[in-house]
Amino acid sequence: MMTEKFSSLGIENGIATVTLMRAERMNALHPAAHYELEGIFDALARDATLRAVIITGAGKAFCTGYDLKDNLETGKIDLPGSGFGGLTFREDYPLPLIAAVNGAALGGGFELALACDLIVAAQGALFALPEPKVGWAALGGGVQRLPRAIGTKRAMSMILTGRSVDAAEGERLGFVNQVVPGAELLAAANAWAAQIAECAPLAIRCSKQVAYASFDQPSFAAMMDLASYSTAAALFESEDAAEGKRAFAQRRKPNWRGR
Distance CA 103, CA 84 (A): 18
| Per-residue model confidence as pLDDT tens digits over 181-197 | 999 999 999 999 999 99
Q: Residue range 162-173: average pLDDT?
A: 98
- The reply to whether 151 and 125 lie within a common domain is yes
154, 169, 197 — which closes off a domain?
A: 197
Shared domain check, 170 and 54? yes
Indicate whether 15 and 112 sit together in one domain.
yes
**What's the domain range around 214?**
201-250
pTM: 0.93
Domain count, the chain: 2
Q: Are residues 19 and 134 in the same domain?
A: yes
Same domain, 34 and 149: yes
Residue 257 in domain: no
Pair 188, 206 in one domain: no
- Tell me how far apart the alpha carbons of residues 124 and 145 are, in angstroms, rounded to a whole number: 23
52-78 pLDDT tens trace: 999 999 999 999 999 988 777 787 888
Residues 213, 179 share a domain:
no
Strand partners, 54: 17, 98
Report the pLDDT value the prediction gives residue 111, as an integer from 0 to 100: 98
Share of the chain above pLDDT 70, in %: 98
Judge if 116 and 217 occupy the same domain.
no
**Is there a contact between 105 and 127 (Cβ–Cβ < 8 Å)?**
yes
Which CATH number characterizes residue 108's domain?
Answer: 3.90.226.10
| CA dist., res. 52 & res. 91, Å (int) | 17
In-domain check, residue 255 = no
CB 149 within 8 A of CB 174: yes
Answer yes or no: do 80 and 207 share one domain: no
- Catalytic residue positions? 111, 131
